Amino acid sequence: MVKSRSEVATIDTWDLTFLYNSFDLWQEDLSLFQKKEGNPLEKIQAFQGTLHLASENCLNCVKYILETGRRLYKLYTYAHLLHDQDVGDEKHKKAYNQVRNLAYKLSELTAWFEPELLQLPEKKLSDLLENPLLKEYKIYLERIIRLKPHTLSKEQEYLLSLAGKPLGSSSQTFSSFNNADLSFDQASDSAGNTHEVTHGSYHLHMESKDRTLRKDAFNSLHQGFKKFENTVTEMLQGQVNTHFFYARARKFKTCLEGALFSDQIDVNVYHSLIKTVKSRIKSMHKYVSLRKQILNVDKIHGYDMYVPCFREVSLRFSFEEAVELIIEAVKVLGPEYQEILRKGLTSQRWVDRYENHRKRSGAYSSGCYDSFPYILMNYQGTLSDVLTLAHEAGHSMHSFYSNKHQPYHYSGYTIFVAEVASTFNEELLFRLLMKKAKSEDEKIYLIGKRIDGIRGTLFRQTLFAEFELKIHELVEAGDPLTPQLLKSIYKQLNHEYYGPDFCSDDLIEYEFLRIPHFYSNFYVYQYATGISAALALVDQVVKENNPQKYLRFLSSGCKDFSLNLLKEAGVDMNTSGPVNILIDQFDDLLNQLKP
């Protein structure tokens, strides 16, 4: 049975004392932040109406906003990590909501800044950008100025800031429902034994050789969501409506344009990904047919997509063994990278390792400029878990290097480049595991695992991206999102992506209800672009045996736009080339496994 939080050993938890030695000290810092006399949120207001008077006013205002944001983000990081380790803990939930309210307040009280800045005459704006006093903030200001066509008046921006909290409720409601309130029936195996089904154990069941257990666990999880299909659909519709509201308010043509514009990513990058993958979807159909042949079943169901089927090899890894493998895998990135990561995964306790009752599901890397890059895991000891740890470690090292080499305002890299750093480490780990394989069966198993990884990261995430695009287009056209409509769209996409040998007639149509990434604004496509860029960069680093260009990329934060940073590192994501190269590798791996 899953442990309660109080039963988890300290060594298996993240060390949040690097942020605050105790919850009481966090509360003291929160109280100081909220103190009326010297309240940083109120001090920011003093700059309003003064930007036109002197460059020094603009400089001091920018510095004060950034310093306040940095201080608040430290408070937020501690609260959100405490919240996620047990989302049902009332004290931590209250703390999390308190600091979220402050974040909304900061947004509200700084809503005047960008409109006032952008109302300055063009000559004044040009002079500001060239002023030596503001040299350190030039790119920061250029990003704001680029948004001028989509920035509203002071009054309108203030209203948008007030709307932030209520418009964020759909995402927060889904998180609480999914991680704290939702539970699933137990699943039975072929021998009649029962097994607990949780978010953490579900993926373990999906890799079981016992098809009865896989099917029962699959049905248990999706039946759990099916019971609430109307409720969850309304949550999702609320989130899409939020994206639509912001896109319209900021005068973007579409939700997609609104989501991609700020980082200068053309919508054609998104559309090209879908088009390229769909043009080569026969590769995925071939994969499903091969899986059907090897498993010797009439149709491949959703519960047949994760069980290793190319060889019967049982690979299990303790957390400590996983760490050693990952450290060895990243050797090509140099001893400094290895040593930093080793300390992070061991003595510095970046990782909250195992599942506990009411812990947030899944895995992520998080943190702030003034903390370690913490990693949430629900580690079960499978090869998938080792790959996930390598993935999150890639994020964390990206954060470490960006924070080390960039000032606060350029340290926050975008998701578009983040998924490159994470899948880069996964690819290095796969290559090491292939070298260490002790038998032909193990090599075949690993090749199968790599194929499954590409299937899940490129093809599946592109399916998600197309679904996300379709539901936003429906809302843009004024069509309501209903459970039946969304199930129909999702079922059809599964049929298109997985082909005639995939059974899309079971509970797979309810899968969209459980995907938390749909509550982020056009997030999932970046997994697919990320793995495509990562493969190209790994090939380059290994071939040249020189990681310096890649390490510069990790150290760049957001000092330039994402596509420019990737191009400087050696890969052009404005073309379909990287995606096609990845599908070529997928085809080659499939051909190696043909019976």
The residues annotated with a catalytic role in the active site are: 392
Beta carbons of 170 and 160 less than 8 angstroms apart: no
What's the per-residue H, E or C state across 362-413? CCEEECCCCCCCEEECCCCCCHHHHHHHHHHHHHHHHHHHHHHHCCHHHHCC
Nearest alpha-carbon partner for 457 in 427, 429, 496, 481: 427
What is the rounded CA–CA span in Å between residue 260 and residue 269? 10
What is the rounded CA–CA span in Å between residue 408 and residue 152? 26
Following DSSP, what letter does each residue of 250-314 receive, concatenated?
TT-SSHHHHHHGGGT--HHHHHHHHHHHHHTTHHHHHHHHHHHHHHT-SSB-GGGSSS--SS---
**Residues 364, 455, 579: CA angle, nearest 5 degrees:** 95
Beta carbons of 174 and 99 less than 8 angstroms apart: no
Terminal Cα distance for the chain, rounded: 40
Q: Which residues contact 330 (CB under 8 A, 6 or more apart)?
A: 337, 338, 341, 425, 428
Tell me how far apart the 2 most distant CA atoms of the chain are, in Å: 79
Taking the CA atoms of residue 20, residue 22, residue 26 and residue 28 in that order, the dihedral angle to the nearest 10 degrees is -120
What is the rounded CA–CA span in Å between residue 507 and residue 302? 8
